[in-house]
Amino acid sequence: MNIAPHAAKRRELTMKITDAFLGEHGVLYPQLDELERAALHAAGDLREQAVLLAAGLVSHAELEEQLLFGHMENLIGADGGPLAVMRIEHQEVESLLAELQESGPGEDACDLAARLVALARDHFAKEEQILFPMAEEMMGEQRLLELGREWAGRRLPRRAA
């Protein structure tokens, strides 16, 4: 398929960083559903699923910390509060993912997967219901759009200019 040169140019992205992260959650939820299904039915290799899930989830958490949490902490401080909780939960999710990738087959892996899915869903819900609205309130639309462009530079596939 031929793509006209003008169609290949990158358009200026106008999306708030919070919307970008909501979109990433939208991709990660079905992966969590799939891991939960496999754990419930003891089907497939949970370690392989954990490797694939980690590929998206770990980079998602890193981007949140670098492009959102850090800027919020500059405004409200890093000690205590919701941002500290979110960072701790990122560490907990990542360590469960690492444990699952190294687990043997059987009930331990299923239990780890179930804990991981529950924690990740709960964490996403807190971000969606509390943290992202707080960011929108305190940072203002222009700053959120600037960070959305930074996100695009880090996340979107490279295309011809």
Instruction: State in angstroms the smallest separation of the CB of 23 from Fe ion.
Output: 14
Instruction: State in angstroms the smallest separation of the CB of 123 from Fe ion.
Output: 6
Site string for Fe ion, 9-48 (x = CB under 5 A): ----------------------------------------
Of residues 110 and 116, the one with the C-beta less far from Fe ion: 116
- How far apart CA 137 and CA 121 sit, in angstroms, is 23
Closest alpha carbon to 95 in 45, 133, 61, 134 = 61
Of residues 8 and 130, the one with the C-beta less far from Fe ion: 130
- How far apart CA 69 and CA 76 sit, in angstroms, is 10
Instruction: State in angstroms the smallest separation of the CB of 132 from Fe ion.
Output: 10
First to last CA, the chain: 18
Instruction: State in angstroms the smallest separation of the CB of 113 from Fe ion.
Output: 19
64 binds Fe ion (CB under 5 A): yes
How far CA 57 is from CA of 4, 45, 105, 122, 143, in Å, comes to 34, 18, 22, 14, 24
* Binding residues for Fe ion (CB under 5 A): 64
